[in-house]
Each structure stands twice: as structure tokens, then as C-alpha cells.
Amino acid sequence: MPDKTTFFNDKHIAAGARMVPFAGYIMPLQYKGIQKEHRAVRDNVGLFDLSHMGEFMCRGAGASAFLQRMTTNDVTALTPGQVQYTAMCYADGGIVDDLLIYCFPHEFMLVVNASNIDKDWQWLMEHNPDDVEIDNVSDDIGMLAIQGPNAENVVKQITAYDLDTIPFYGSARAMFGAHELIISRTGYTGEDGFEIYCSEESADDLWTMLIEAGEPEGMEFIGLGARDSLRLEMRYALYGHEIDAQTNPIAAGLGWICKLDKGDFMGRNTIAAMKESRPTEKMVSLLLGPRTIPRQHYNVWAGDKLLGEIRSGIFSPTLGRGIATALVPRNYAKLGTELQVEVRGKREIAVVVKPPFYREGSHK
């Protein structure tokens, strides 16, 4: 089956993007270079195409109860206009996916990882009760994200909606030209910013409006490479790296989205037992030297003892050092512990530090 393209594929090619296959789509990896794009978001504003993400609409009399059982966070705490970060788990506590739940007056929207769309859909359908209707609208929805300290300066030029009324992890329906679109404030970069969901019919207009509004601000196009480096500086989890079907949310540092007192949910008993006994492993943040570039799967050592491997690793454009995550035995996870990462056959010192790596984000 050939890779899909987003509504903005031609726009990326015209902008000089280096296009690559990713999660079943052809997506822009970079335009002018990952470090330049990374700095643009930290210092100013950047435009991302996130249309590869999956969207499921969930409605019906039993929708809230269904999502309450299928996810780890407390869906009943949501009111219309709020967005919640959560996870779906298997009975053994392994993670199906991490996702966002948007609460609207009469329905919910689930935003899932692109690589997990089919798996997530099958998992939900296997447990779907008769009083819940779920639609997979992933192919019908595009998404552009505008991230950076000057993101609001761009977006406020193309909508009359009062953006100050949208808090972090909030959403609204707002007019953009002739189109009523969903806008939210849930960025994964540590900076202020917005996500705007559109249809194929509104995609060209939205793109044109954003480009015209962003040009005076010096807005840059941002690819998947900088998206990954930005999220890792914040120590946000990425499925297939920090979390997967073999990783439980307690060890991954996601216990805060596991509301054990809300009642029964998929994987609850196992997760509760893990929290009580404390998992034998813990996800740690590692700070390396200024000329060290750690990569996924590099081995992590403590002397002659092999502890595990890097889950995510990059050279941080902001810190000017290598940063990484790794799942290691708990007795090696204390802050300040010196470990070693094997980089091209050489052991490099890696110190366990408190996350996030970057603390100066502009998000509200």
C-alpha cells in the first residue's frame, strides 16, 4: 500500500522540504536544517504539518463511560473546551498508545499517534459497546501547528476569536475566514502555540492565511526532525521510544495520568500493583557531553554492567549537549548518578538529571 500524503504535500515540496516516509505518510523531515528550525521555534515561531495524526470521533449515551474504562486518566473531569492527555493500556499494563481526548458538548475527539491509527482503532472496536458510536475520520482531517513565543501574534491575525481565553490544554471552535475550525493549545514543544484542525476543503485557505500572517513575523517551516528534538528537550514521551506495549506507565513516568481512584479501567489492577511495589526499572533523563550525539538503541552501562539502551537521543540545539532517555534498573536512577553510553565503540559519561532538559518554555 503506497504512503499517503497530507493536504499540504505540494506546499512542502514547493517550500523545498526533504520528504521522507513516516508512519504511512510522506512527510517533511526538514526544510533549512533541523537545528535552524529548532531555534526558530524556541526563539520565534514555526509552522508544522501534523496531519498524519489520527482522529476518532466518539459519541453516544455511553461515550464518557466507555472512554473512562478504556483510558487511564479521568474523563469525567473534562468539561467542553478541555483537552486531556491520557493513555490506553492492555490488561498487563503495557501501553497501547498515548493520546489526547478533546471534550465537546456532544462528543469527544481522540487524537492518536499516526503509527498506531489502525491498532488503536481495532482495540477500541473490540471493546465498543452498543451505545457508543466511533468514527475514524483520520483521512478527513488535517492539522497545522503554530509553535513558538510569537505563535499568538500569527494566529490572532487570522481569527477574531479571543485566544487568551484558550488555556493550555483548552480548545474552541473559531472562525478562520469563512471556515469554522477547531483550535487548541496543547503543543509538544514547551513553547506557546496552537493546533488548527481543518478539512480538505478549508486546507488551502488556512495555509494561505497562516503563511501571509506568519511572513512578517519571520515564521519558519518546521519538519519532523525539529519536532522530535523539541519534544525530547521537554522529556515528553514518544510512542515507540519511551513508551510501547512492553513499557508500563509507572516505569515510564506517566503515573500522573493514571487515576487509580476513578474506578475500574483497562489495566488498572496491574498498574496499581506496579505503583504499590514500585517497578524495578525507571525511565531516566541523561545529560551527556558537548560533542556527544546519543542515538536510539545505543547501550547504557554502569561500569561493566549493561543496564539497557537509549530510548531517544539527540544533540540538543538549545543546551549544546547530548541528551537522551533510557529505561534502567531503579537503583541506577538516582539524580546525579554517572552512567556511560556506548557511542561508536567508546564509553561516554552520561549523568542522570531531573527532567525536563529545557525549562524556559513560553507555553501558558
Which tens digit of pLDDT belongs to each residue from 255-303? 999 999 999 999 999 999 999 998 999 999 999 999 899 999 999 999 9
Q: How does pLDDT run across 24-55, given as a tens digit for each residue?
A: 999 999 999 999 999 999 999 999 999 999 99
Topology of domain 280-364 in CATH is Elongation Factor Tu (Ef-tu); domain 3 (2.40.30)
pTM value? Answer: 0.97
pLDDT exceeds 80 at position 94: yes
E-strand ranges in 63-132 read: 83-89, 95-103, 108-112
Task: Output the CA–CA distances (angstroms, integers) from residue 263 to 63, 65, 259, in the order listed.
Answer: 16, 11, 8
Assess contact for 194 and 172: CB atoms under 8 A: no
- 3-state SS assignment for residue 194: strand
Please tell me the predicted confidence (pLDDT) of residue 363.
76
Q: Does domain 54-130 have CATH number 1.10.3210.10?
A: no
Please tell me the predicted confidence (pLDDT) of residue 1.
64
Give dist(CA 264, CA 270) in Å, integer: 11
Topology of domain 4-51+141-232 in CATH is Gyrase A; domain 2 (3.30.1360)
Please tell me the predicted confidence (pLDDT) of residue 59.
98
Place of cell 490506553: 88
To 10 degrees, what angle do helices 34-43 and 224-233 make? 60
pLDDT exceeds 90 at position 184: yes
Assess contact for 119 and 239: CB atoms under 8 A: no
pLDDT, average across residues 328-333 = 98
What stretch(es) of the chain map to CATH 3.30.70.1400? 54-130
How long is the chain?
A: 364
DSSP 8-state symbol, 256: G
Query: Model confidence at 89, in pLDDT bands (50, 70, 90)?
Result: very high
What stretch(es) of the chain map to CATH 2.40.30.110? 280-364
pLDDT exceeds 60 at position 332: yes
